[in-house]
């Protein structure tokens, strides 16, 4: 039983490792340039998959973007220049971590605002659902144990068919 559990854990660990979509024909011959290309690719969003880097995506557009990154690096661009070039073509959206500037305030502040509004809504909901208690002596009218005045009790008895 323990061996079976160990085998299942091992298989799970192997399947859980990330796989990269870089094809062998895309890999640069110079290991340093390839490492630069991979570093840049990890910061760029696949515009088709939206939540994956182009390094992880199998989409055709991601492949084209990886090739473009490698072409720019081979041409002598620094990592910053490659990122700037990709932003000039695709906008800040292409960056997995967009800069904090006026056009991206919603991206950075939006989730916190939504969380705050949700917490306020839950607080209001919980406040409205709390049991309402009337302090003793707060109602100056003559009410019995049922909370009705004598006049209201007589009307209720009449409606219920109880004549007293």
pLDDT at 144: 53
Q: Which residues contact 43 (CB under 8 A, 6 or more apart)?
A: 53, 83, 95, 96, 97
User: pTM here?
Assistant: 0.53
pLDDT at 20 over 60: no
| 69/112 Cα distance (integer angstroms) | 34
Give per-residue pLDDT as tens, 92-122. 888 888 788 887 788 788 899 999 999 999 9
- What confidence tens digit (pLDDT) does each residue in 47-88 have? 888 788 888 888 888 888 888 999 998 898 888 999 999 999
Helix runs in the chain, H state only: 2-16, 31-41, 60-74, 79-90, 105-129, 150-159
In this structure, what DSSP letter does residue 44 have?
B
Q: Which of 111, 106, 40, 103 is nearest to 70 (CA)?
A: 40
Planar angle of CA 156, 161, 164, nearest 5 degrees: 75
Task: Check if CATH label 3.50.7.10 holds for domain 17-103.
Answer: no
pLDDT of residue 38: 87
Per-residue pLDDT, 33: 82
Domain edges within the chain: 17-103
**Token pair listed for 164:** 């007293």
> Which residues lie below 8 Å from residue 144, measured CB to CB, with a gap of 6+?
150, 153
- At 19, the pLDDT band (50, 70, 90 cuts) reads very low
| pLDDT per residue as tens digits for the range 125-157 | 998 888 777 665 555 555 555 678 888 888 888
């Amino acid at each position: 039983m323990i061996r079976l559990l160990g085998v299942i854990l091992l298989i799970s660990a192997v399947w859980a490792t990330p796989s990269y979509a870089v094809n062998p024909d895309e890999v640069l011959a110079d290991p340093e340039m390839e490492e630069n290309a991979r570093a840049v690719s990890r910061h760029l969003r696949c515009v088709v998959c939206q939540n994956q880097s182009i390094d992880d995506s199998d989409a055709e557009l991601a492949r084209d973007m990886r090739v473009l990154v490698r072409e720019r690096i081979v041409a002598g661009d620094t990592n910053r220049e490659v990122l700037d070039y990709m932003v000039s073509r695709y906008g800040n959206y292409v960056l997995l971590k967009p800069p904090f500037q006026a056009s991206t305030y919603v991206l950075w502040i939006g989730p916190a605002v939504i969380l705050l509004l949700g917490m306020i809504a839950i607080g209001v909901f919980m406040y409205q659902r709390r049991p309402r208690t009337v302090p003793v002596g707060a109602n100056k009218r003559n009410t019995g144990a049922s909370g009705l005045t004598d006049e209201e009790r007589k009307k209720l008895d009449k409606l219920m068919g109880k004549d007293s």
